[in-house]
Amino acid sequence: MRRAKISIIGAGNVGATCAHWCAAGELGDVVLLDVPQTEDMPKGKALDLMQASPIMGFDSKVIGTNNYADTADSDVVVVTAGIARKPGMSRDDLLATNAKIVSSVSQSIKETSPNSIVIVVSNPLDAMVQRAFQVTGFEPAKVIGQAGVLDTARYRTFLAMELGVSVEDISAMLMGGHGDTMVPIASCTSVGGIPVSQLIKPERLEEIVNRTRTGGAEIVSLLKTGSAYYAPAAATMQMVEAIVRDKKRLIPCAAYCDKEYGVGGYYVGVPVILGSGGVEKIIELSLTPQEKEGFQKSVDAVKSLVASMTKLLETA
């Protein structure tokens, strides 16, 4: 049986850690690509990871390269390429530079792996996945943004820390854009089946939600010279696994919504069923008036971000 081929574009911390998770989980053979200016760096990381295989007991092959030809006919392509945030920098500050990078990467994916499913991780996420969709011309179900899995993981982590319980007992859902406007869905948040509203007071819960919204910035401020990568890479691996193993996971992803939720043709975080076909179904929840208002605010922020990106690309 042929192993899945997983290509990861960008061999920085997120990309290399994603390669680690995917190889260790034997999700498929992994190609780790970075730009020619990095010379042999991706080859070195790939070789180092391969040398861990006898110890960790995995048979996935990992190669590093600067050449898109080595990624040809990938089943899944993960895009982590782009500059990372620095302290004091918002995701939006990355917009102009990363839009150009993602445009170039997407064109190469279109040429070398036209039948692949693309997972975009680069920030600002909501605009970057929209750009990848525009450039590849792939059907919407096969271009997906990684945000909701990470945001939900952060939320679950903070709730577990607050309550002193296992993260495994916490189920949660966040929707909307990746960042300050994300919307927690209280009716979908529970601890061992108990609604979180019965365990945490509203004002404290709002503090935890706000920490989740700024979770990435908090790590940037602590690291000083980089941004989060363990959790983003693990979140991406979960999405890759759902696709290559056709697991039909019901998880939040940045998916293309047109009539769904009345979005009108943009990528926003919504619950989806993720399997071998990519986004196989978008789940439309019945939102409360407050949740609807928050979600619309988040959608408007995404539209504004995409409009800014379009303007910057037109004037570049």
CA distances from 214 to 89, 154, 155, 303 (A): 12, 10, 11, 20
**Is 20 noted as a catalytic residue in this protein?**
no
State the catalytic residue, choosing from 45, 85, 178, 303: 178
Q: How far apart are CA 262 and CA 103, in angstroms?
A: 27
| Distant-in-sequence, close-in-space partners of 224: CB < 8 Å, separation ≥ 6 | 87
* β pairing state of 183-184 and 62-65: unpaired
Cα-based angle 191, 195, 197 (whole degrees, multiple of 5): 110
Cβ neighbours around 283 below 10 Å, total: 13
Q: What angle do CA 129, 133, 139 make, to 5 degrees?
A: 130
Catalytic positions are: 178
